[in-house]
Amino acid sequence: MKKLICFSTLSLAIATMSLPSVAQGQQAQYSPSAPRISSTNGYMDAHMISVYTGDQPLSFITVRPPDFISVGDRIQINDQSGQAIESNISREGNIIRVNFAQPIPPQTTLKITFADLSLSSGVVPIGVYNYEVAGGYPGFRQEIPYGLARVQVF
């Protein structure tokens, strides 16, 4: 009986010490003023990506569509009021770069519409398409990645 009590006490002590302590993780910090992809929308012939500029003026934005999508020349950029934004669009391989004539003011939401799309043969037009999006700010040497814009077409 004495051995049973000792063994039980020893087992309980080992079990107590080996239990993981409650993690004291940090709360995720989210800044609503950070630049980000705010929404996406997609149709078979057009994809839209909305981007929030954050607290800094935006001088350019780059978008890399999926390899199997060919984007034509009908690219339109509007601000949150629907007004067209004057810009110069250039391409480097599969990357589309939109240089703005004037820096976009902070805390602006831009809507980028790709209205002239063609898919590689054999690709089903319904699905999810990932666009890599990044922005450039005056005074910064590198572009800031916004992330993947997931455009879903039904």
Straight-line distance from the first to the last Cα atom of the chain, in angstroms, rounded to the nearest whole number? 71
Is the residue at 138 inside a domain?
yes
15 has pLDDT over 70: no
Is the residue at 128 inside a domain?
yes
Helix H or strand E segment including 3: helix 2-18
Is the residue at 147 inside a domain?
yes
Is the residue at 127 inside a domain?
yes
23 has pLDDT over 60: no
DSSP structure class, residue 106: S
Is the residue at 13 inside a domain?
no
Q: Which domain holds residue 144?
A: 36-153
Q: What pLDDT is recorded for position 18? A: 60
Q: What is the 3-state secondary structure (H, E, C) of 9-20?
A: HHHHHHHHHHCC
8 has pLDDT over 80: no
Q: What pLDDT is recorded for position 28? A: 64
65 has pLDDT over 90: yes
Yes or no: say if 36 and 147 are a contact pair by the CB < 8 Å rule.
yes
User: What CATH number does the domain containing 98 carry?
Assistant: 2.60.40.2110
Distance CA 56, CA 71 (A): 28
6 has pLDDT over 60: yes
Q: How many domains does the chain have?
A: 1
